[in-house]
Amino acid sequence: MRESMEFDVVIVGAGVAGLSAACRLMQQAQEAEQELTVCVVEKGSEVGAHILSGAVIESRAMDELFPDWKEMGAPLNMLVTSDELYLLKSDTAAKKLPNALIPKTMHNTGQDLNNYVVSLGNVCRWLAEQAEGLGVEIFPGFAAAEILFNDDGSVKGIATGDMGITAAGEQGPNYMQGMELHAKYTLFAEGCRGHLGKQLIEQFKLDNEADAQHYGIGLKELWDIDPAKHKPGLVVHGSGWPLEGDTTGGFFLYHLENNQAVVGLIVDLNYTNPWLSPFDEFQRLKHHPVLAEHLEGGKRVAYGARAITKGGFNALPKMTFPGGLLIGCNAGTLNFSKIKGTHTAMKSGMLAAEAVFEAIAAGNEGGSELSSFTDKFEASWAYDELFRSRNFGPAMHKFGPILGGAFNFIDQNLFGGKLPITLHDDKPDYAQLKPADQCKQIDYPKPDGKLSFDKLSSVFISNTNHEEDQPCHLKLKNPDIPLQQNLPTFAEPAQRYCPAGVYEIVEEASGPRFQINAQNCVHCKTCDIKDPAQNITWAVPEGAGGPNYPNM
Amino acid sequence: MKVLVSVKRVIDYNVKVRVKADNTDVDLANVKMALNPFCEIAVEEAIRLKEAGIASEVVVASIGPKAVQEQLRTALALGADRAIQIECDDLPEPLNVAKLLARVVEAEQPGLTILGKQSIDVDNNQTGQMLAALTGRPQGTFASEVKVEGEKAMVTREVDCGLKTVELVLPAIVTTDLRLNEPRYAKLPDIMKAKRKPLEVKTPADLSVELKQHSRLLKVETPASRQAGIKVDSVDALVDKLKNEAKVI
């Protein structure tokens, strides 16, 4: 029998959605002078260790959660001062787009816009301090490994993973059994493609009425740049080269404080060419003059990658089920037309907190499906802006970046997102790959060690570590698929879509062998999303494993 | 018998250390900090002595700013009974640490004081030895096994030529090596309980110790990066390069 602990609310994941929910729950409990026990489990070694985001954030949700966040010292220090958008035409040419031609949602400066360049990791660390100050128990280093159910099928809570299991699956010398955390309500805030969220969506058929979800992979680096080139608050976005044909995506480059800048590339995971390597696209992108002029003379500090849920409104699953809710990017509340998800993730967490607290305060014993959340969500600005942006992603997928962009300009700027049509895009990302022999192989340039780097030296500065002696957390449903199907048909794309070099085809005298270097895994979840056979399941490794991102 | 353990907050061993752009020190901004692994082993050993009925109380002490309370709470969650923080803005050098700890030893009178052999940030490997000298207690450093029998402790030390066992008369000082034990994981309920365990904050002045600076950090540099190797096509070419380019033969 596992030990168990009882809480009013258990939250899985100390990201912005989970922590906003935790804070909002406690604020209400204090206002009502009611006792409430809230616990947050986080698989990273500390809060922020697994947080990776651009990030330019809109302060709207923060303004509501902590109206005096500025005085309280929230790390939203860098207001966006200028905003540039480029279309890269080749490895050297670029066209800077005039503001008037850019869909309104993508503007970061101007009247009434309060956008900040932040490290989302540091925002989470700050939110965690506030939550702990309000009385929330936060447990970093504890991964929620399984969902627990009541006899009536409602969610009862979660169990943390066992620690100290050896690679052979036996109990090692420092074995510690996982614990059951029971709650009246459990909020799942694992971020994009949460492994428990995925099970909940399936179990409760939450996506029955939604389009297929769509994803991107975001790769990001943090740089110390030449102080002479530092323009605090400058935000640069763009698309085009090096992504070709039907591969879409876009890059970002933001100037933070302290002579630091972040640079990143998002590649939509509906790409069709199995030879594509998002990592290598990112590395060569940095040589384009538009980006290189900021980075030359600088030094790379950190690297990481994370998948992004970007299907938006049409792909948003039902967020409630008996005994809990799915919030933030675990559901998919990101507004892709703004390239922002923090404010909507926070808002979904705050609304979930309100629905849960109202139920508990009214004497509800837990396990119910809180449809009051759905009413609150549908009445909120978060829902309104997701609705207005519902065509943005599908238009890009359907019409490509140029015509899709034109559609979005008309839809967003002339009709405010209220064109009376809804575009759908129902083909899941994993089903998009074409056979390798029908696609162009891509010859990526060698990294120069100054602006571009190889995969292993990149993973090295993600500070990733997993206890070596533990079972592999990347589970293959059928171990033969990589060599028997994926290799001959798609030249095993996992070797290339994985940004951390986890998957390798090793050529041996006896033939090729599929190798999983699980200790490299940066927890981005791309393999779980893009494997054409949907054969890879990302499960949580031992708690505290994974990257140790600084201010990412 | 009371056991005193001193612990240090250091940069996490998973983090790749970076030097500040102005070469004044290692960059600790936004970097994950953790309990020094050798100190964690020291805490584990003390808890095992308590579980074996040999130790009656485990006290942990740390020196540094308020942030070190995080590491003290970790030690409390692992099983220590109470904690003492000696508040300093910076992390003082080993002699100052040893002087502060000597005062704690004087006040607490532990039968055994266990420290990590060194901290993984500055690798000084001095504090335990200095503490032994200042308190006049016998020392067993680099311990890979500690057996307490009555008024004595048998300490197996990892030395260059192999293993060396010393017999110490208690009270004594022990510093831990890597193979002494494998620390446990903290349990969730224990982490919650640790928040309510006593943690006393003292200043160097409370202990009548004046901190003195004996050394100054001049510069920190990253090691020169290694040049890429080349392949030679024959033994002759290799000999030629060794002779004329590398000039080693």
- DSSP secondary structure string, A169-190? SSEEEEEE---EEEEEEEEE--
Q: Which one of the listed residues A45, A105, A342, A452 is annotated catalytic?
A: A342
Q: Could you tell me which of B85, B79, B64, B68 has the C-alpha nearest to residue B33?
A: B68
Q: What is the pLDDT of residues A318-334, one digit of tens each?
A: 999 999 999 999 999 99
Residues contacting A28, CB < 8 A, separation 6+ = A36, A353, A354, A357, A361
pLDDT score of B110? 98
DSSP H or E stretch at residue B164: strand B162-169
Q: Which of A160, A166, A548, A552 should we substitute to test contact with B (largest number of B Cβ atoms within 10 Å)?
A: A548
Residues contacting B47, CB < 8 A, separation 6+ = B58, B78, B79, B80, B184
* Interchain pair B185, A164: CB under 8 A: yes
pLDDT score of A400? 75
CB atoms within 10 A of CB B72: 24
Q: What is the pLDDT of residues A214-246, one digit of tens each?
A: 999 999 999 999 999 999 999 999 999 999 988
Nearest CA in chain A to B70: A46
| Chain A residues near residue B184 by CB distance under 8 angstroms | 174, 176
Share of chain A above pLDDT 70, in %: 100
pLDDT score of A393? 82
Residues contacting A37, CB < 8 A, separation 6+ = A6, A7, A8, A9, A137
Rounded distance between C-alpha atoms, residue A159 and residue A152, angstroms: 18
Segments of chain A scoring below 50 in pLDDT: none
* Interchain pair B30, A465: CB under 8 A: no
Longest dimension (CA), chain B: 73
Question: Which parts of A362-422 fold into alpha helices (H)?
Answer: 371-378, 381-388, 392-409
CA distances from B45 to A165, A496, B49, B167, B232 (A): 22, 46, 6, 18, 53
| Chain A residues near residue B188 by CB distance under 8 angstroms | 5, 139, 142, 160, 179, 181
Q: Which amino acid is at A28?
A: Q
Q: Nearest-5° angle of CA A143, CA A147, CA A151?
A: 150
| Chain A residues near residue B31 by CB distance under 8 angstroms | 550
DSSP H or E stretch at residue A47: none
Q: Which residues of A touch B (CB under 8 A)?
A: 3, 5, 45-46, 49, 119, 121-122, 137, 139, 142, 160, 163-164, 173-174, 176, 179, 181, 224, 258-259, 299, 301, 460-461, 463-465, 548, 550-551
pLDDT score of B89? 85
pLDDT tens per residue across all 249 residues of chain B = 999 999 999 999 999 999 998 899 999 999 999 999 999 999 999 999 999 999 999 999 999 999 999 999 999 999 999 999 999 987 789 999 999 999 999 999 999 999 999 999 999 999 999 999 999 999 999 999 999 999 999 999 999 999 999 999 999 999 999 999 999 999 999 999 999 999 999 999 999 999 998 889 999 998 888 888 888 999 999 999 999 988 888
* Interchain pair A179, B188: CB under 8 A: yes
DSSP H or E stretch at residue A235: strand A234-240
pLDDT score of A15? 98
Q: Which of B40, B184, B185 should we substitute to test contact with A (largest number of A Cβ atoms within 10 Å)?
A: B185
> How many beta-carbon pairs below 8 A join chains A and B?
56
pLDDT score of B90? 79
pLDDT score of A434? 97
* Interchain pair B188, A460: CB under 8 A: no
pLDDT score of B41? 98
Rounded distance between C-alpha atoms, residue A206 and residue A187, angstroms: 15
Determine how β-strand A324-326 pairs with β-strand A320-321. antiparallel
**Domains delineated in chain B:** 2-245 (3.40.50.620)
Q: Could you tell me which of A234, A230, A225, A222 has the C-alpha nearest to residue A80?
A: A234
Q: Which one of the listed residues A389, A458, A498, A526 is annotated catalytic?
A: A498
List the structure tokens of B166: 């010393």
Q: What is the pLDDT of residues A242-293, one digit of tens each?
A: 999 889 999 999 999 999 999 999 999 999 999 999 999 999 999 999 999 9
**Domains delineated in chain A:** 4-67+121-210+317-388 (3.50.50.60), 392-423 (no CATH), 455-538 (3.30.70.20)
Rounded distance between C-alpha atoms, residue A9 and residue A183, angstroms: 5
